[in-house]
Structure 1
């Protein structure tokens, strides 16, 4: 069963900004477009992550987006430092907005507790309205 990652989108104020930043990180790998991401260490549950997992992006203390994880591997830069390069699908999928306390680095997220993807109609609403409507039982 796949597992997911939670990661804070540091310096990002809204989903459109993350999309803009990631446009500059797009590359073609084995004939497909991917977005590069980086972390210091390889997640120990790598096989579960690339077997259908996604990275869920936390923006301003709220989970708002997910992005499928395609692959990850260790690389060494020109200074001899090693780190893990993650390859994401370029599509950002809006998910049910869910508040989350601050944390550093990344965390695993069980698929059973992951926010669900939003329909096109729901994703047109700002995150704070989605939360209010959900609290009222209207979404």
Structure 2
């Protein structure tokens, strides 16, 4: 697959599997949790509360890993591994762009000051389980 085809596959996996695993670093060890991911302009975003462990972990070490896919048929599903750097994005534009009514259970609307996004800039992307092909690695 060429770079363009790999990027298209990457975007499709994210669109089809918005729930994945975010791993941060806590005390020099991985700390993983399920999150919901959004993709725009070569950047991943995941919503969270400002006052959480993961925000503190990212402030101490911005390197993260994300796993998406591999949830429908098991071993035959394509999935992606992403490693990159993260930061906190609390701009109103991003909050408005990705706001969903389901967030009302945690936040008082998109203007809630505790509502923020973890912004992830992928450095390396690996796509695995591509119809028996070896893993494909690329950068965005």
Same fold (TM over 0.5): no
TM category (shorter chain) comes to 0.3 to 0.5
Calculate the TM-score normalised by the size of structure 2: 0.38
